[in-house]
Amino acid sequence: MYLTAEKKQEIFEKYGKSNTDTGSTEGQIALFTYRIAHLTEHLKVNKKDYSTEHALVKLVGKRRSLLDYLKAKDIEGYRNLIKELGLRK
């Protein structure tokens, strides 16, 4: 499996408030970004996997809405997270 419990804890420890705080906005966005990157690589190999493509589009939408929420609540946190994750070029 591509996303182990250890990897999740590592993501939440780095971007969230702690490794057990799985509900923080920053941690969720980081987790979604990791999953989006994995699904994108999968779709490069499996071009006709439409169910994965659908899941990817839904995941990108969820991440977008969380980013909008974070931008409205904490603009500096939003800017730092964007920079750390490399979402804007």
Indicate whether 86 pLDDT > 90.
yes
Residue 89 has pLDDT above 80, yes or no: no
Segment 68-82 shows an average pLDDT of: 96
Cα distance between the two ends of the chain: 30
- Tokens 């969820």 belong to 62
How do residues 42-52 score in pLDDT, each as one tens digit? Answer: 999 999 999 99
Per-residue pLDDT averaged across 32-50, rounded?
97
Question: The tokens of 3 are what?
Answer: 């996303």
Angle between helix 5-15 and 25-45 (nearest 10): 130
Q: Looking at the predicted structure, is the pLDDT value of residue 17 above 90?
A: no
Domains and CATH numbers, the chain: 5-85 (1.10.287.10)
